[in-house]
Amino acid sequence: MVLLKDEKEYRGVLPFLRKGKCLVLLYDAIRPLLPQVQKPARYTGGEVNMTVKDPAKMDIRFAFCFADTYEVGMSHLGLKILYHVLNKEPNVYCERAFAPWVDMETKMRENHIPLYTLETFTPLDRFDMLGFTLQYEMSYTNVLNMLDLAGIPLLANKRGEEWPLVVAGGPCAFNPEPLCDFIDLFMVGDGEEQIVELVREYDAFKKKGASREEFLLHMAKRQGFYIPRFFRDSYFENGDFKALTPTRDDVPATILKAFLPDMDAADYPDSFIVPFTEAVFDRVSLEIARGCTRGCRFCQAGMLYRPQRERSMETLMKQAERLIASTGYEEISLSALSTGDYSCLPQLVRGLMEQHKKDRVSVSLPSLRIDSVLGETLEETRQVKKTSLTFAPEAGSQRLRDVINKGVQEQQLLDNVRDAFEKGWNGVKLYFMIGLPTETEEDLLGIPALAKKVTEQYYAVPKEQRQKGLRVTCSASSFVPKPFTPFQWEPQNSIDQLMDKQRFLRENFRMRGVEFNWHEPHLSFLEAAFARGDRRLGRVLLRAHELGCRFDGWNDCFRFDLWMQAFADCDIRCEDYAYKRYDLDAPLPWDHISCGVSKEFLKREWHKAEKGELSPDCRQHCHGCGIRATFGKGVCRTCG
């Protein structure tokens, strides 16, 4: 163990812990703990392609915090992109921190070791900024736990100038209210340019000696930045949400999302960090498009990331070549909300396969719609190996698919899986949702019926032509009403209703070669509450953290009883958020945020859902969602 005698000499350069009268390098304090925990490579850093800079020469130190385990965070494309763009700034050092698993957390607390970054083993309280990405509502307790592990005050109003600025972005930032007590600044929208703007402005204010309050007020006037302290919430006498209004005349009442107009011009990493331990996704991810034109009425991402923008095939081929060379990965995953809608998909896959055939690199196609034209593309992808094939019918009946505006026919799915079975696939994953608005028992019965028809397509292929061992996996998640969707006003099914539907499906899913999976309805119940929550849920979140809630998205850590105690202790009912049916004209806790899609458009789509009417793909007909008027860009024919 290295002991340092002069704290002044090493402050801000080397991370340390005080042990009596000496300073101990943090890494030396951590090293004895590693043999005592699962997957110690989660905590060691030093991976291939990790950015190395001299912290002493940096003006801004930024800790990118992912509120889940290392292997989950290291699979997230957004982390890789923002890590890259920040570290391109010559005076900024972006480092990474992840939520330690419960065994490591216990050891850290026992040994008084603060949460640190993997690049330099520096405690988080030494940074200028901590940036959390909010991907999932049930990660919120991990945000609080990471701050607590770092010794940083949880409440924003308790953090003075000496503490890091705590910022957050990601899809959950479009309804930031449940986290407003804890976050200083939210970034809403596309982050590549926005996060660079944030650190540059912070650097300028820091060099002027300006206060935190002055900096936050400055950022509150810029597009895409929401500063909770400059807004006040109010409620009606019956407890319903009333309004969120600025406390200052010079702060805009509506926060419009940051928008990246040109995907080809957007920065993208030339290399990804390669973990020493297995990540959830060990492969190169190519973001081929952002946004979607389909308009599924339950899909939040399809609304938040409008308009659809594609990267050119030329750009993607160059990115793939550099990433394969720098990482050694053997698989390329094409990332988009609807991969099959990419305008040059067959040509792109053919080009990637030809470019990397000598290296035995495969190409996978996630997020496929069942009406995607796949024949030629499947032929290309099977040249190296057959990667997973996943389709999302979402509902078992055509009636319900029309209600949710899925806009696809059953026969299209059957034709595609038959084509895949003929080309040598023997495994298909099908994703469904239960608890959707207007769902009936007949709609539910359509799910196993559709799975059975898929198996029949397999057995219809001549025995000598098909691969042995049919595997059809059907997963049914529970519908969660989300902000900025036409179903944001809808209540969620109760836990008992969802459990009854799951039981009903299990009884009807007894067929050879088919596996049925389902999601924990208690977890979906909480997710719905926090997805549509207001600021009052901050008290519940803080109490849940105090009771020990963390890793709530993991079945072996989720404690529903503690969550119910937290709600009871705060005299708040979770049902009032998850099961509430909002009036179409009622104020909503996220009305002050704008993703560019108008509320009037969402209301029109809600009425269409009531009637079971379809809205065609935006590329066929403009529905006036508001994106063109807001950003001057669109992809449908009317908009150009």
The predicted model gives 481-486 an average pLDDT of: 98
- Which amino acid is located at 261 in the chain? P
CA atoms within 13 A of residue 548's CA, in its CB half-sphere: 9
- pLDDT for the residue 474: 95
DSSP state of 113: P
- pLDDT for the residue 363: 87
Say if 419 falls within a structural domain: no
Say if 391 falls within a structural domain: no
The predicted model gives 124-150 an average pLDDT of: 97
Number of compact structural domains in the chain: 4
Say if 53 falls within a structural domain: yes
Judging by DSSP bridges, how do beta strands 165-169 and 185-187 pair with one another?
A: parallel
- Which amino acid is located at 116 in the chain? Y
Is the CB of residue 369 less than 8 Å from the CB of residue 391? yes
> For residue 24, what is the enclosing H or E element?
strand 22-25
pLDDT at 450 over 90: yes
Say if 506 falls within a structural domain: no
Q: Is 19 in the same domain as 139?
A: no
The dihedral of CA 552, 558, 564, 570: what is its sign? Answer: negative
- pLDDT for the residue 543: 98
Q: How far is CA 98 from CA 63, 118, 156, 344, in A?
A: 10, 9, 21, 37
**Cα 120 from chain centroid (whole Å):** 26
State the helix-helix crossing angle for 77-87 and 192-208, rounded to 10 degrees.
40
Is the CB of residue 489 less than 8 Å from the CB of residue 580? no
By residue count, the chain amounts to 640
Contacts of the segment 543-546: beta carbons below 8 A, 24+ positions apart: 543/569, 543/570, 544/141, 545/141, 545/144, 545/145, 545/148, 545/154
> For residue 93, what is the enclosing H or E element?
strand 92-98
The whole-angstrom separation of Cα 91 and Cα 58 is: 5
The CATH number for 295's domain is 3.30.750.210
Which domain, by its residues, includes 330? 285-385
Q: Is 21 in the same domain as 52?
A: no
Q: Which of 168-182, 395-409, 412-426 has the highest mean pLDDT?
A: 168-182
The whole-angstrom separation of Cα 404 and Cα 224 is: 30
> Residue 359 corresponds to which tokens in the numbers above?
């290296």
State the helix-helix crossing angle for 537-547 and 521-531, rounded to 10 degrees.
140
Picking from 89-93, 95-99, 242-246, 344-348, which range would have the lowest pLDDT averaged per residue? 344-348
Mean pLDDT taken over the chain: 91
Task: Classify burial at 473, counting beta carbons within 10 Å of its beta carbon; exposed 0-12, middle 13-18, buried 19 or more.
Answer: middle
In three-state secondary structure terms, 616 is coil
Q: Is 17 in the same domain as 108?
A: no
Q: Is 122 in the same domain as 182?
A: yes
Contacts of the segment 376-381: beta carbons below 8 A, 24+ positions apart: 376/346, 376/350, 377/345, 377/346, 377/349, 378/419, 378/420, 378/423, 378/425, 379/423, 380/346, 380/349, 380/350, 380/353, 381/349, 381/353
Q: Which residues contact 332 (CB under 8 A, 6 or more apart)?
A: 283, 284, 286, 320, 323, 324, 352, 356, 361, 362, 363, 364
The whole-angstrom separation of Cα 542 and Cα 213 is: 24
Q: Is 3 in the same domain as 50?
A: no
Number of H helices, E strands in the chain: 22, 22
The CATH number for 144's domain is 3.40.50.280
The whole-angstrom separation of Cα 123 and Cα 55 is: 13
pLDDT, tens only, 267-284? 999 999 999 888 887 889
Say if 148 falls within a structural domain: yes
The predicted model gives 259-268 an average pLDDT of: 94
Q: How big, in percent rounded to 5, are the helix, strand and coil portions of the chain?
A: 40, 15, 45
Say if 210 falls within a structural domain: yes
The whole-angstrom separation of Cα 458 and Cα 425 is: 9
Say if 490 falls within a structural domain: no
Q: Where are the alpha helices (DSSP H) in 429-520?
A: 441-460, 495-507
- pLDDT for the residue 360: 87
Q: How far is CA 317 from CA 324, 351, 357, in A?
A: 11, 7, 13
Q: Is 30 in the same domain as 130?
A: no
Is the CB of residue 509 less than 8 Å from the CB of residue 448? yes
Q: Is 365 in the same domain as 244?
A: no
Q: Is 55 in the same domain as 29?
A: no
The whole-angstrom separation of Cα 359 and Cα 385 is: 12
First to last CA, the chain: 65
Neighbours of 459 (CB within 10 A): 13
pLDDT, tens only, 562-574? 999 999 999 999 9
Q: Is 43 in the same domain as 162?
A: yes
Is the CB of residue 124 less than 8 Å from the CB of residue 150? yes
Of 235, 256, 277, which one is at a domain's C-terminal end? 256
> Residue 223 corresponds to which tokens in the numbers above?
């597009």
Of 208, 239, 256, which one is at a domain's C-terminal end? 256
The whole-angstrom separation of Cα 151 and Cα 83 is: 24
pLDDT at 462 over 60: yes
Q: Is 63 in the same domain as 18?
A: no
Give which of 401, 391, 342 is closest to 368, Cα–Cα. 391
Picking from 219-233, 319-333, 480-494, which range would have the lowest pLDDT averaged per residue? 319-333
- pLDDT for the residue 1: 32
Give which of 248, 197, 255 is closest to 226, Cα–Cα. 255
- pLDDT for the residue 279: 83
Q: In which band, very low, low, confident or very high, does the pLDDT at 639 lie, cut at 50, 70 and 90? A: very low
Q: In which band, very low, low, confident or very high, does the pLDDT at 93 lie, cut at 50, 70 and 90? A: very high
- pLDDT for the residue 24: 56
- pLDDT for the residue 359: 84
DSSP state of 116: B
- pLDDT for the residue 139: 97
Task: Classify burial at 20, counting beta carbons within 10 Å of its beta carbon; exposed 0-12, middle 13-18, buried 19 or more.
Answer: exposed
Of 354, 385, 416, which one is at a domain's C-terminal end? 385
Residue with tokens 């309004």: 243
pLDDT at 348 over 90: yes
Is the CB of residue 182 less than 8 Å from the CB of residue 154? yes
Q: Is 231 in the same domain as 350?
A: no
Q: In which band, very low, low, confident or very high, does the pLDDT at 324 lie, cut at 50, 70 and 90? A: very high
pLDDT, tens only, 484-535? 999 999 999 999 999 999 999 999 998 888 999 999 999 999 999 999 999 9
> Residue 466 corresponds to which tokens in the numbers above?
């098909």
Q: In which band, very low, low, confident or very high, does the pLDDT at 12 lie, cut at 50, 70 and 90? A: very low
The predicted model gives 392-413 an average pLDDT of: 92
Residue with tokens 């179409």: 584
In three-state secondary structure terms, 269 is coil
pLDDT at 188 over 60: yes
Is the CB of residue 572 less than 8 Å from the CB of residue 536? yes
pTM for the full model? 0.92
Q: In which band, very low, low, confident or very high, does the pLDDT at 371 lie, cut at 50, 70 and 90? A: low
Say if 196 falls within a structural domain: yes
Judging by DSSP bridges, how do beta strands 389-394 and 362-368 pair with one another?
A: parallel
- pLDDT for the residue 16: 56
Q: Is 116 in the same domain as 15?
A: no
